[in-house]
Amino acid sequence: MKVSVIGTGYVGLATTTVFADLGNEVIGADIDKGKIEGLNKGIMPIFEPGLKELVERNIKEKRLRFTHNNKEAIEHGEVIFICVGTPPKENWETELKYVENVAVEIAKNMKSYKVIVHKSTVPVETGDKVKKIIEDNAGRNVEFDVVSNPEFLREGTAVEDTLHPDRIVVGVGSEKAKEIMKKLYEPIKAPLIITDIRSAELIKHASNAFLATKISFINSVAKICELSEADVEKVAEGMGYDKRIARDFLNAGIGYGGFCFPKDSQAFIKIAEKYGYDYKLLKATNEINEEQKKNFVKKVKSTLKDVSGKKIGVLGLSFKPNTDDMRFAPSIYIIEELQKEGGKIKAYDPEAMEKAKEVLNDVEYYKDPYKVCEGADCLLILTEWNEFKELDLEKIKSLLKIPLIIDGRNIYNPEDMRKHGFSYISIGRKDVLGIRPAPTP
Ligand code: UDX
């Protein structure tokens, strides 16, 4: 099938490459010329495991090409995916102008029947808007259908999630579009849920809101565990065996970040507001998430007593492992707050340091996690990269000025830390207290 994808961000790139790999003829389009030139040479604009190999293979086998000319892409595809950004406005409503602009472009350039699919996360009723824009701008009597096909991929596993999704949601308004979408997705073995367009749009927002709420839920439980000297990891394990609850997304920490949960949960509150509904539950989810970062800063401050002049080692900057994405990363707030108190930050992240340099000031970056520990008054864990779990703890202890780790991701076992002679403070678990830091003279 001839497929076009407009927008080559995380969702767009995963969509182009996976559909090409499944044997379709795919064009990926983006107005960013530099990005397109890079992609055609195999240079990825984002770090995403498996993506580069897949792009290169499909370009070589001539199923995939990239263009900065949207018109060319619109003419090519029978199915056109709109994967452009839907960033938040100042008031957290979803900015739809990029989707709308693409809809106008499609209308003006389509010469034959098209299935126009929005994959970006958009408010319910966007499908109706897109349809109206196309009808108003098409000018000729060209047939088309609008489809909502929300994307559920996670950063860091974008290719894997697109190839092996838990489900595929397709919201359609016509039999013809339904059959085309079914055929396109046929090679992917996953439950296919066919709905009306508005329900499909809501499935995406409702899913992200639910997951964000699950995280805030366990973070609240972590707080109660801290107050009652229980262990949130055990509580989550005990809850997780209940199939109705499930263990996933019950990891307490410093809160969710990234470009989806923070903006989508705020956007969903705004959507509800437009319909006259006060979404109290989701508001609480967001508040708890903000508190989580603040509580972590409080932990650091109360442990160090005086942050001013202290050298603070930081392992992990990206909002989660296996990505270089710094958008809404909890590390930004935490680092900036500690800097306000006079803390000196030394940091290491396996992938995100370049992007971190664009958002953080006055941080010393090191290419080696052990260098971050050298002479530091404490070590913070802000992202749970696997390589941090394998570090030589004895070596870390010998390098730190004081053997103190404050772990925002619960990557170590408190008992092991006690045996290694660390003071170890984590989330929702009893503190391991060894040698306390000396007050700053
Ligand atoms: C999310 C959704 O999972 C995905 O379906 C949607 O399409 C886009 O948004 P992503 O933003 O890539 O994907 O990250 P995800 O792996 O879901 O993690 C989001 C945030 O929640 C991260 O900051 C992560 O650290 C945090 N998190 C996740 C927790 O704090 N605890 C958990 O148990 C799980």
Q: Where are the domains of the chain?
A: 2-195, 196-441
How many residues are listed for the chain in this entry? Answer: 441
User: Is 2-195's fold the same as 196-441's?
Assistant: yes
Distance in Å, CA 211 to ligand 1 centroid: 8
Ligand 1: does its nearest atom lie under 6 Å from the Cβ of 204?
A: no
Ligand 1: does its nearest atom lie under 6 Å from the Cβ of 208?
A: yes
Distance in Å, CA 387 to ligand 1 centroid: 19
Q: How far apart are CA 414 and CA 422, in angstroms?
A: 9
CA distances from 32 to 45, 62, 148 (A): 11, 22, 25
Ligand 1: does its nearest atom lie under 6 Å from the Cβ of 154?
A: yes
Ligand 1: does its nearest atom lie under 6 Å from the Cβ of 253?
A: yes
Which region, left, alpha or beta, applies to residue 48 given φ > 0 means left and ψ of -120 to 50 means alpha?
Answer: beta
Distance in Å, CA 108 to ligand 1 centroid: 37
Q: How far apart are CA 8 and CA 17, in angstroms?
A: 10
The pLDDT of 275-287, averaged and rounded, is 98
The pLDDT of 110-114, averaged and rounded, is 95
Residue located nearest, by CA, to atom 13 of ligand 1: 154
> Is the Cβ–Cβ distance between 364 and 346 less than 8 Å?
yes
Residue located nearest, by CA, to atom 22 of ligand 1: 256
Q: How far apart are CA 133 and CA 118, in angstroms?
A: 14
Q: What is the pLDDT of residue 141?
A: 79
Model confidence at 350: pLDDT above 60: yes
Taking the CA of residue 253 as reference, the ligand 1 atom at the shortest distance is: 30
Q: In the structure, what pLDDT confidence band is assigned to residue 105 with cuts at 50, 70 and 90?
A: very high
Looking up tokens 């709308």 gives 100
Q: What is the pTM assigned to this prediction?
A: 0.95
Q: What Rg value do the Cα atoms of the chain yield, rounded?
A: 24
Cα of 293 vs its chain's centroid, Å: 17
**Beta strand 64-67 pairing with 25-29:** parallel
Q: What is the pLDDT of residues 139-178, one digit of tens each?
A: 777 899 999 999 999 998 999 999 999 999 999 999 999 9
Residues 6+ apart with CB under 8 A from 238: none
Q: What is the pLDDT of residue 369?
A: 98
Distance in Å, CA 282 to ligand 1 centroid: 16
| Environment class of 181 (CB within 10 Å of its CB; exposed 0-12, middle 13-18, buried 19+) | buried
Taking the CA of residue 10 as reference, the ligand 1 atom at the shortest distance is: 12
The helix, strand and coil proportions of the chain, stated in percent and rounded to the nearest 5, come to: 45, 15, 40
Taking the CA of residue 383 as reference, the ligand 1 atom at the shortest distance is: 25
Q: What is the pLDDT of residue 236?
A: 98
> Is the Cβ–Cβ distance between 2 and 78 less than 8 Å?
yes
The pLDDT of 293-297, averaged and rounded, is 98
Topology (CATH) of 196-441: Rossmann fold (3.40.50)
Model confidence at 2: pLDDT above 60: yes
CA-nearest of 325, 299, 263, 311 to 408 is 299
For the domain made up of 2-195, the CATH class stated in words is alpha beta
> Is the Cβ–Cβ distance between 86 and 95 less than 8 Å?
yes
Q: In the structure, what pLDDT confidence band is assigned to residue 272 with cuts at 50, 70 and 90?
A: very high
Model confidence at 437: pLDDT above 70: no
User: CB count, 10 Å around CB of 57?
Assistant: 14
Q: How far apart are CA 387 and CA 59, in angstroms?
A: 32
Taking the CA of residue 254 as reference, the ligand 1 atom at the shortest distance is: 30
> Is the Cβ–Cβ distance between 402 and 377 less than 8 Å?
yes
Distance in Å, CA 154 to ligand 1 centroid: 7
Q: Which residues of 152-175 are buried (b: 16+ CB within 10 A; e: fewer)?
A: bbebbbbbbbbbebeebbbbbbee
Q: In the structure, what pLDDT confidence band is assigned to residue 386 with cuts at 50, 70 and 90?
A: very high
SS3 at position 1: coil
Residue located nearest, by CA, to atom 21 of ligand 1: 256
Q: What is the pLDDT of residue 435?
A: 56
Model confidence at 436: pLDDT above 70: no
Q: Chain-wide mean pLDDT for the chain?
A: 96
Catalytic positions, written as ranges: 260
Q: How many percent of the chain have pLDDT more than 90?
A: 94
Model confidence at 438: pLDDT above 60: no
The pLDDT of 9-22, averaged and rounded, is 96
Q: What is the pLDDT of residues 182-237, one digit of tens each?
A: 999 999 999 999 999 999 999 999 999 999 999 999 999 999 999 999 999 999 99
Q: How far apart are CA 77 and CA 4, in angstroms?
A: 5
Residue located nearest, by CA, to atom 28 of ligand 1: 249
Q: In the structure, what pLDDT confidence band is assigned to residue 270 with cuts at 50, 70 and 90?
A: very high
311-315 sheet: strands from edge to edge: 363-365, 344-348, 311-315, 378-381, 404-407, 423-425
